[in-house]
Amino acid sequence: MTKQKIKFYGFLLILPVMALILGGCGKSLSQIAGEKATEALIENQTGGAAKVDINSGNVKVNTAEGSFESGANVKLPADFPKDVYVIDGNIIAAISNQENKGFSISIESDKSPEEVSVIYQDKLKNDGWKITGTMSFEGSSSVIAEKDTRTVSVIIAKNDNKTTVTVSIGTK
C-alpha cells in the first residue's frame, strides 16, 4: 500500500469526530467550510479529487479509489457482495475500495458475540464460503472464510450494551 493510501485511510479515522463537531440540521457555513477543508486535505494527501459531504451527523467521502461513510444513517454500499451475510443492526461505517473490490462495514447488533459468531459461520457456509479459522476470547470472536479469490473476515466485539461486528472482504 502506498504512503498516500495509508495517509488517506488513516485520515478517514478522524472523520467521525469531525462529523460530530460540524453536525446539526441543514448546512451551515462552518459545515461547508469543513467539507471544503477536508476535501483539500484529502486531495493534498492522495493527489486525487475528493468529495466530502457532512450532513445530519454523517460523513461521506468519495474518491476515485473508493468511498467511506460513517454516522447514524449509513447505508450498505449498493455493490456489496450478495453472498456475504449482513447481520441485522445499525450500520455505523462502510468503506468500499474500487481498486481491489474490497469492502468493510461495521454494524452494531443486540446479539451476543457468541450468537453472532455462530450465525456468521452458518450463513457463510450456506453461501458457499469455506471457514478457514475461528477464534473466541473474552467478549470477542472472529470468523475467517474464503471463496474463489476472495476472503472475508468477521471481527466481533462486545462494546457496552452492543456488539460491534466488522465484516471485511478482500482478495487473496
Q: The pTM is what? A: 0.72
Q: Tell me, what amino acid is at 38? A: T
Of residues 172 and 12, which shows the higher confidence score?
Answer: 172
Among the four given CATH numbers 3.40.50.720, 3.10.270.10, 3.40.1000.10, 3.10.20.30, the one describing domain 74-172:
3.40.1000.10
Q: Is residue 168 within 8 Å of residue 150, measured between CB atoms?
A: no
Task: Supply angle C-alpha 154, 160, 132, rounded to 5.
Answer: 15
Q: Is the pLDDT of residue 22 over 50?
A: no
Model confidence pLDDT, tens digit, residues 133-144: 999 988 899 999
**Where in the chain are the domains?**
1-64, 74-172
Arithmetic mean of pLDDT over the chain: 79
pLDDT score recorded for residue 97: 83
10 Å CB burial of residue 148 (0-12, 13-18, 19+) is exposed
Q: Is residue 126 within 8 Å of residue 120, measured between CB atoms?
A: no
Which residues, in sequence order, are bridge partners of residue 131?
Answer: 145
Model confidence pLDDT, tens digit, residues 27-65: 566 666 666 666 566 556 666 666 667 676 777 766 677
C-alpha cell belonging to residue 42:
484529502
Confidence of residue 161 (pLDDT cuts 50, 70, 90): confident
